[in-house]
């Protein structure tokens, strides 16, 4: 019964965000372009995947899902979707945007060759309206910004990939473990 409730809650949280409008992709890219390191890395990236809205929710067991587009040298080459299942202490729901940068052709090919997966310890840079944080195997750091337009990021490629996220809304308490799994469909 609890599993069914959690699944229903997760699906309901994700329904309103599953279809992103075309201008949401441009708006999301513009936000990342103006947010410090993500902007300079985006400018020099071989390719990228952008997710305007990813919905995340959970009560003990959680999940996240979102749809995005993949670009090579600025040209759209396909569509992608992200699914995540997490286990641990978590309660609430959240919507965020995600940008995945590919430093070179090899990194992009690895992503587009089928089902790609980030492990639970993958690095990500978070940008929120109030604060940002970076967590990874080398330690943690934080930064503060006044709002989305003032967001600043610092980060670097790891194995040819850099990931940035922007919290868009919601409230979620979480101490959980789970990786992100991506599927890719060529255009």
Domain boundaries, the chain: 2-186
| Alpha-carbon gap, residue 176 to 171, rounded angstroms | 15
For the chain, give the percent of residues with pLDDT over 90: 33
Average pLDDT, the chain: 75
Contact criterion met (CB below 8 Å) for 165 and 124: yes
Of 131 and 8, more confident: 8
d(C-alpha 128, C-alpha 144), whole Å? 9
170 contacts 92 by C-beta, under 8 angstroms: yes
Burial degree of 49 (CB within 10 A; 0-12, 13-18, 19+):
buried
Q: How confident is the model at residue 166 (pLDDT cuts 50, 70, 90)?
A: confident
pLDDT score recorded for residue 28: 93
Band of residue 139 on the pLDDT scale cut at 50, 70, 90? very low
* pLDDT category of residue 112 using cuts at 50, 70 and 90: very high
Cα 144 from Cα 129, distance rounded (Å): 9
Alpha helix segments (H runs only) across the chain: 2-14, 22-33, 37-44, 105-112
Return the pLDDT at 147: 43
Check residues 38 and 177 and name the one with the higher pLDDT: 38
Per residue in 64-106, pLDDT tens? 999 999 999 999 999 999 998 888 878 888 888 999 999 999 9
Partners of residue 87 on adjacent β-strands = 61, 177
Residue 60 predicted with pLDDT over 70: yes
Q: Note the pLDDT of residue 25.
A: 94
Distance of alpha carbon 184 from alpha carbon 82, whole angstroms? 9
Question: Which is higher by pLDDT, 56 or 175?
Answer: 56
The model's confidence at residue 13, banded by pLDDT at 50, 70 and 90, is low
What's the confidence (pLDDT) of residue 142?
Answer: 31
> Which is nearest to 157 in space by CA: 35, 31, 74, 48?
48
């Amino acid at each position: 019964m609890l599993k069914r409730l959690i699944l229903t809650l997760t699906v309901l949280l994700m329904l309103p965000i599953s279809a992103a409008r075309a201008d949401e992709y441009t708006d999301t890219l513009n936000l990342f372009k103006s947010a410090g390191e993500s902007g300079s890395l985006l400018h020099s990236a071989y390719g990228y995947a952008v997710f305007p809205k990813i919905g995340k929710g959970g009560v003990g067991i959680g999940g996240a899902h979102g749809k995005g587009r993949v670009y090579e040298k600025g040209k759209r080459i396909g569509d992608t979707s992200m699914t995540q299942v997490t286990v641990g202490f978590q309660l609430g729901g959240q919507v965020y945007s995600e940008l995945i940068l590919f430093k070179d052709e090899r990194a992009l090919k690895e992503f587009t060759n089928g089902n790609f997966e980030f492990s639970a310890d993958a690095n990500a840079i978070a940008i929120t309206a109030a604060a940002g944080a970076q967590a990874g195997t080398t330690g943690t750091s934080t930064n503060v910004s006044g709002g989305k337009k003032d967001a600043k990021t610092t980060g670097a490629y790891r194995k040819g990939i850099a990931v940035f996220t922007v919290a868009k809304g919601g409230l979620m308490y979480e101490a959980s473990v789970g990786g992100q799994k991506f599927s890719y469909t060529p255009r």
